[in-house]
Amino acid sequence: MNAESRLSMPVGEAIFTQRAIRRLKPDPIPESDLRDVLEAATRAPSGGNSQPWHFIVVRDAALRQKFGPLYREAWWAKRADSGYHSPEDLPPAYRAAMRLADEIGASPVIVLLCATAKGPGPMGSVIPAAQNLLLAARALGIGGTITTLHAQVEDRVHAMFGIPETAQIVYCLPLGYPRGRFGPAKRKPVSEVCSYDNWDNAFS
Ligand SMILES: Cc1cc2nc3c(=O)[nH]c(=O)nc-3n(C[C@H](O)[C@H](O)[C@H](O)COP(=O)(O)O)c2cc1C
């Protein structure tokens, strides 16, 4: 059976039950499932079909543990950029992400979704792959979420994973089986965010 047949969850179910899963069980993800998820990621569209992506699938426990504090540092550097310097400063909406910043090293798999060149073009071309990856993971009962790093840790993360200077890390995706449940996700109604033909033409 190939990845296409194994990813048989109806697309509607995958899309409408996918949400950010940050609390992950330590159980390992079978290699065949990881491969299916990556096959799905590499089916995404990209500018001129340039496919400027490289996925580093971090499974090694020692590496994940070593990466954890760097991720935490990056997460707090992003908060500091917004004026938050301690857990007491943070609005409640940040709590789950803050916990992930403490626990990410224990995720069974961390995927570093990289662009093979710097700049907004290559970056934009790898973003659809992240969503393909997460939807395929959802279809296999695997959760995760998109996260970003921070320039403050960039050189050290590049060195840790042998990422060339010419490449950029776009997202860092922890993956694992959820401790909680999948979706539904809370989103604005279509009527609020869509219009026909002109921005001001209400979509009813
Ligand atoms: C570009 C981008 C950056 C994100 N960065 C982080 C992050 O650093 N840490 C985190 O825990 N979640 C991060 N998220 C996940 C979002 O917080 C999440 O998708 C959003 O709150 C919706 O969550 P829901 O699907 O559970 O409703 C990011 C998502 C995107 C698209």
Q: What are phi and psi of 135, to 5 degrees?
A: -70, -40
Residue ID of nearest Cα to ligand 1 atom 6: 147
Indicate which residue's Cα is closest to atom 22 of ligand 1.
20
| CA 99 / ligand 1 centre spacing (Å) | 13
- State the residue for tokens 């999948």: 182
What local confidence, expressed as pLDDT, does residue 62 receive?
98
pLDDT for res 114: 98
Rounded distance from Cα 67 to ligand 1 centre (Å): 19
State residue 51's pLDDT score.
98
Q: What is the pLDDT along the chain (204 residues), one digit of tens a residue?
A: 899 899 999 999 999 999 999 999 999 999 999 999 999 999 999 999 999 999 999 999 999 999 999 999 999 999 999 999 999 999 999 999 999 999 999 999 999 999 999 999 999 999 999 999 999 999 999 999 999 999 999 999 999 999 999 999 999 999 999 999 999 999 999 999 999 999 999 887
Domains in the chain with CATH codes? 3-193 (3.40.109.10)
Q: Determine the residue of 111, 123, 132, 147 to mutate for testing ligand 1's pocket, defined as the one with the most ligand atoms within 8 A of the Cβ atom.
A: 147
Q: What are phi and psi of 195, to 5 degrees?
A: -145, 155
Which atom of ligand 1 is the closest one to the Cα of 78? Answer: 8
d(CA 55, CA 113): 5
For ligand 1, the distance from its centroid to the CA atom of residue 146, given in whole angstroms, is 6
Span 183-196, pLDDT tens digits:
999 999 999 999 99
How many Cα atoms within 13 Å fall on the side-chain side of residue 117? 9
Structure token digits, residue 33:
């499932």
Ligand 1 site-directed mutation target among 22, 23, 24, 145, most atoms within 8 Å of CB: 145
Does this model's pTM top 0.85? My answer is yes
**Cβ count near 11 (within 10 Å):** 10
* pLDDT given for residue 202 in this prediction: 86
Cβ < 6 A, ligand 1 pocket:
19-20, 22, 97, 100, 145-148, 185-186
Query: What is the CA(1)–ligand 1 centre distance, in A?
Result: 33
